[in-house]
Amino acid sequence: MKPLRIATRGSALALAQARWVGAAAEDATGRPHELVILQTSGDRIQDRALAAIGGKGLFVKEIQEALLDGRADLAVHSAKDLPAKTPDRLVFAAFPRRADARDALIAREPGMRVSLLPRGARIGTGSMRRASQLRARRPDLELVPLRGNVDTRLRKLDELALHAIVLACAGLDRLGLGDRIHERIDTTDMLPAVGQGTLALEVRADDHALAADLAALDHVPTRMCLVAERAFQAALEGDCAVPIAAFAELDTAGRLRLRGLVAKPDGSRVVRGEIEANAADAERAGAQLASELRARGGEEILVALRGSAR
C-alpha cells in the first residue's frame, strides 16, 4: 500500500507531533506513513523577530507548497503557526483534541511563579503577545528577545543568565518535558495564542478519500473553539506584528465562551472582551468579539501598530 507522506518541520517538537499523527493516521487509513522533513523560512532565519520577516506564516509556507506540488499527502502544523488565511486548494481534515493551551513559566529557581519573580527579573520570550501581557502585569520585568526551538530556548535560560523563559505547555508536554514547568500560567493571567495547543492536519482539497479517513481524528469541540479563535484573528487581520490573543472553551451544554484581547506591545493598554454563543455560531462569535474590541479601543492600537510597521 502506498505510504502516507507527512510533511513536517524538522524540530524535535514538530517531529514528535508528526510521529504521533502518523501512528493515529495509520489506524485511520490503514496506510503506513513516512515523514517528509522540510526546513521552513521561519526555521532558517533565527536572528530576527518574526514580525520583521513576514510573520508566523513563515513556518507553514514550504510545508503547504509540498502538499500543493504533490511531494506530500498530509501536513501537520501547530495551529498557532497558521496565518489567518490558507491556500484555496488546501483544507483542514482534522483537529485532534487540544492539549494544554496555557503558557508555561520555566525558571532557574524551583517553585517560581510570575508573581514571585524578583523585581527587574530578565525573562526570555520571542512572542509579542506574551511580552505585552507580561509587561501589563509586571512592568518592572526586563523582556529579552528569544527565538529558536524548545531545546535552544531552554539552553538560553542558562546561557543568557535569564531568570525565566515562557513557552507553551503543550509543546513541553509533547516532548516529555512537563516536569520543567514551574507555573502553568492561568488563562486569566495570560491569554493564549490563537490555536495554542492544537494540531492542524491539512490535505489537498481534492483528496476526498484521505480527508474522509482523517475525519476520525477530528475532535469537534476543538474544531469549534479553533473556528471561533481564527475568526477573531481574521477579523483583526492579526499577525505577529500585533499582540492579540484569543481562547475559546465549550461547556457540556455546547455553549462557547470566547475571550480575546488586543494590546500595545509595551503593555500600557490592553483591550479585553468576551462573548458567549452557541457552538454552531462560533465563527460569527469570533468576528463579533473582534468588532467589539475594535470599537472599544482596539482599532486605535491596530492602526498605530500597522503604521509603525511600514
- Nearest 10 degrees: CA dihedral of 69, 5, 223, 285? -20
What CA dihedral angle connects 73, 76, 77 and 82, to 10 degrees?
20
Q: How is residue 112 written as a grid cell?
A: 517560581
- Identify the pLDDT of residue 20: 97
Beta-ladder partners of 77: 200
Radius of gyration of the chain (CA): 19
Please report, in tens digits, the pLDDT of each residue of the chain (310 residues total): 899 999 999 999 999 999 999 999 999 999 999 999 998 765 555 555 445 444 556 778 899 999 999 999 999 999 999 988 889 999 999 999 999 999 999 999 989 999 999 999 999 999 999 999 999 999 999 999 998 899 999 999 999 999 999 999 999 999 999 999 999 999 999 999 999 999 999 999 999 999 999 999 999 999 999 999 999 999 998 766 789 999 999 998 889 999 999 999 999 999 999 999 999 999 999 999 999 999 999 999 999 987 765 5
| 103-185 shares the fold of 1-96+198-218 | yes
Angle at 63 between CA 205 and CA 282, to 5 degrees: 55
Fold that domain 220-310 belongs to in CATH: Double Stranded RNA Binding Domain (3.30.160)
What class does CATH assign to 1-96+198-218?
Answer: alpha beta
Q: How much is the pLDDT for 310? A: 52
pLDDT given at position 203 = 98
| Spatial contact of 82 and 200, defined as CB atoms under 8 Å apart | yes
How confident is the model at residue 85, as a pLDDT?
Answer: 82
The CATH fold assigned to 103-185 is: D-Maltodextrin-Binding Protein; domain 2 (3.40.190)
Interatomic CA distance for residues 18 and 58, integer angstroms? 18
Instruction: Tell me the catalytic residues.
Output: 81
Q: What is the pLDDT of residue 285?
A: 98
What was the pLDDT predicted at 45? 53
**What are the residue ranges spanned by the domains of the chain?**
1-96+198-218, 103-185, 220-310
* Strands, sheet with 103-107, edge to edge from the N-terminal-most edge strand: 142-145, 122-125, 164-168, 103-107, 183-185
